Chains A and B, each alone.
Chain A
Amino acid sequence: GESVGLHLPTLSVQEGDNSIINCAYSNSASDYFIWYKQESGKGPQFIIDIRSNMNKRQGQRVTVLLNKTVKHLSLQIAATQPGDSAVYFCAEKRANTGNQFYFGTGTSLTVIP
């Protein structure tokens, strides 16, 4: 049969520009979040994480912002490079469901050289 599903949102940026990828989560009990990068045909790679008692965390070229009031998470990539082209997912750990992580829809980032 025909598969029906959501298509990934897409974002195109020029090389060297900053990228902002957004994620909305629905469970107010989520206490830990991770951003993953997934290249075609591969498993997800950890980028950066943040706990719910923080609102900002910085890594190398990446920053994650957490707004618990509106249940929103964003990933900022500075000076985006062609190697950053991939699909980005946020994943949330819900405080009352053990150690499982639940993934958001994802965003496909394309960096234009």
Chain B
Amino acid sequence: GAVVSQHPSWVICKSGTSVKIECRSLDFQATTMFWYRQFPKQSLMLMATSNEGSKATYEQGVEKDKFLINHASLTLSTLTVTSAHPEDSSFYICSAQREGRTYEQYFGPGTRLTVT
């Protein structure tokens, strides 16, 4: 149990376009999901915390108007990278916190975004 999926697994887009990444908890409900970004050979950087039914909380330095997060249900959160630029190319990873289990966090397989 506790499987988290992401879609797409990789995407290539042109500069200036927007890209939506989905994060789904497949066999459990997740009131909270987290979005991370990871550049090559670097650590995971927490971008934002997504709570079902409320606005996301962004980490310092992350532009909320550029990285739109929607957590419309207990099993789905989406991250939209708006007006993408080459510097947004990265590996985006989500994690889902099982409802009622504060310390249990399950990671998705990640989405590789390349902006040309």
Contacts and interface: CB of A to CB of B under 8 A. Distances in A.
Interface of A: 1, 3, 5-8, 32, 34, 36, 41-46, 49, 89, 93, 98-106
Contacts, number: 61
Majority DSSP secondary structure for residues of A touching B: loop
B34 A5 contact: no
B42 interface: yes
Interface of B: 4, 6, 32, 34, 36, 39-46, 49, 57, 87, 91, 93, 95, 97, 102-103, 105-110, 112
Contact of A7 (B34, B41, B97, B109): B41
- A-B pairs with the 9 shortest C-beta distances? A43-B107, A103-B44, A103-B43, A5-B42, A43-B109, A44-B107, A43-B110, A106-B43, A43-B93
B41 A101 contact: no
B43 A100 contact: no
A7 B36 CA distance: 18
B97 A99 contact: yes
14 contacts: A1-B87, A5-B41, A8-B42, A34-B105, A42-B110, A43-B4, A45-B107, A89-B43, A89-B44, A93-B103, A103-B43, A103-B45, A104-B43, A106-B42
